[in-house]
Amino acid sequence: MSINLEIPKKMEPLVQQAHMVATEVLRPISRKYDLAEHEYPKELDMLAAMIDGLDEGGASGGAGAAGVSRATENGDGGNRNGSNLASVLGIMEMCWGDVGLLLSMPRQGLGNSAIAAVADDEQKARFKGKWAAMAITEPEAGSDSAAIRTTAVVDGDDYVLNGEKIYVTSGERADLVVVWASLDPKQGRAAIKSFVVERSNPGLKLDRLEHKLGIRASDTAAFILDDCRVPKENLLGSPEIDTKKSFAGAMRTFDNTRPLVAAMAVGLTRACLERTTELLAEAGVEVDPDRPAARQPAAAAELLDMEADYEAARLLTMEAAWMADNGKPNSLHASYAKAKAGRTCVDVALGCVALCGATGLGEDELLEKWARDAKILDIFEGTQQIQLLIIARQLLGLTSAELK
C-alpha cells in the first residue's frame, strides 16, 4: 500500500476553512489573550458552534479531537484518508493562527481524544458534545505516566478516586476531566485506567491555575481528588487488570493524541518560517530554494535548513495520522512525529527570533510569543526524551523494564 502525503482533494475545503479561521479570528486576538492570561476567549464560542455544525453535517470529515480513533485494517488494499488525517491538517492551520487559542477551543480537548480512543459506543454517545480535559501528570509522576499515585477503589456502584493532578489543559473550563488512576498500585502500569469525571463533581477540587511561559490563552489547572466518587460506567475500557495487555488502553490514547500535538508544532513552525521569510525580504535578504546554500546570504541558508526540518516533521505527522486511518499500528510513528515536530518547533522558533534580531524580540511581532509557545509542544504528551526512549525500545525490541 502506498501513501501520498499531499493534501487529499476531499480535505482541501477543510484546510481552507481552518486557515481562514486562523487568519480572521485567531491571529487578530492572539496577543490580546496572551496578555490577558486566564481570561476566557469569548470569541471562540461562536467558532466552536460553527465547528459543531460542520461535524453534524459531515462537512468536517470527522476532524477534531473527538473524531480521532483507530480504523480497522483496510482490507481492500486501498488508501483511506479519514478523521485522523483531517484532524492533523486542521490543527496545523489553526496553530498557524495560535496554539493557545486552539487549546482553548470548546469540545476539542485532549480528553475528547482519550474518549474517542478507548470509550465504548454507549459512552461515546453519553459524552458526545461535552468538552473533556485530560489529567495524567502528578507532582511526582510526569514523564513516567506508569508511576502515577492517584488511586481508584471500588465502593458499591462507584469508584472512589484520591490523589493530585497538575498541568491539566483546559481543566477549569471543561465539562469533563479524564483522570488516570490506578486500581492497584502494586500491579504497576497494568492497573492504570482512565475515568471520566464530571467537572462539577464535588470531589474534584480546583487547587490553582498556573501562570505560564507560553500558551497563556489556555488555562492550565491543578486538582485535588478527595474521595471523588465516579460511577462504574464512567471507567473507559475494561475494568480487568490484564498484565499481558498492560498499558494498552493508555497507549492507544497516546497513539491518537501525539500526532495531534505534533500537528500543533508543525503549524507553529510554519508560522515562524513564513513570518521570518517576510521580515528577511523587507531587509533585502531573498531566500531562493533553487540555489545552493553556499551561494546565498547566511540568513537565507539557515532558513532553508530550518525549512528542511519542517518538511520532515510535517510528513512524519501526516504519516502517523494516515496509519491510524488505515488501521496500521502507529505507536512508533506517533513518537517519531512528536519527537521530530516538537524539537523542530523549538529550534525553528528560537532560530527565527535570532535571525530577526531585535525585531524578533519585540511585542509588536508575534515571533516573540511563538518562541514562548513553542516549548510546551516539546514537553506535553510525552517529552522529547520520553519519545526517544519509546522509539529506542521499539526499534531494539526491548521492554520498558529492559530499557529505562
Residues 6+ apart with CB under 8 A from 61: 10, 11, 14, 82, 83, 86
* Helical H segments across 212-297, by residue range: 248-282
Q: What percentage of the chain's residues is helix, strand, coil (to nearest 5)? A: 55, 15, 30
Q: How many C-beta atoms surround the C-beta of residue 36 within 10 A? A: 13
Residues with active-site annotation: 381
In the structure grid, which three cell numbers stand for residue 257, read together? Answer: 493524541
> What is the C-alpha separation between 350 and 344, in angstroms, rounded?
10
> What is the C-alpha separation between 114 and 260, in angstroms, rounded?
12
> What is the C-alpha separation between 33 and 287, in angstroms, rounded?
33
> What is the C-alpha separation between 317 and 315, in angstroms, rounded?
5
> What is the C-alpha separation between 209 and 219, in angstroms, rounded?
7
First to last CA, the chain: 35
Contact 230, 196 (CB under 8 A): yes
* DSSP 8-class letter at 228: E
With CA atoms as reference, report the closest residue to 48 among 105, 96, 99, 91. Answer: 105
Q: At what angle do helices 331-356 and 298-325 cross, to 10 degrees?
A: 160
* 3-state secondary structure at position 364: coil
Contact 334, 259 (CB under 8 A): yes
